Amino acid sequence: MRRIAPTLLILAILPLLGGCLAKTALDVATAPVKIGSKAVDMATTSQSEADEKRGREIRKREERLGQLQREREKLERKCSDGNERACRDLAEVEHEIEVLKPQVPYEPDR
């Protein structure tokens, strides 16, 4: 009787262990694929991430363009008052505006 009890206990537990062993074997077999896909996911940029980045870049250019236009207005007033340095600075600002304008998308009035 003493020998039968441990044997029955082992036989009762054996089906439960089979699932654990199978799951562990599956986890071990699929681990390289999961790790590889995780690395590829981290290395690539999704379309939404790329769109967000482009939007940030465009907003920065629009902000810079707005700053330059305000600066140009101030320099135009000073230049018309006879300030030669303002006239030179105005030419530089206008050049930077001309370089930056094509990089900012055109949005028609709604």
Give the model confidence (pLDDT) of 35-64 as tens digits: 777 777 777 777 888 889 889 999 999 999
pLDDT > 70 fraction of the chain, expressed in percent and rounded: 72
Q: What is the pTM of this model?
A: 0.54
pLDDT, tens only, 75-96: 999 999 999 999 999 999 999 9
Give the ranges where the chain is alpha helix by DSSP (H): 4-43, 47-80, 84-100
List the chain domain ranges.
Answer: 1-34, 52-104
Burial of residue 75 (CB within 10 Å: 0-12, 13-18, 19+) is buried
What letter represents residue 76's amino acid? E
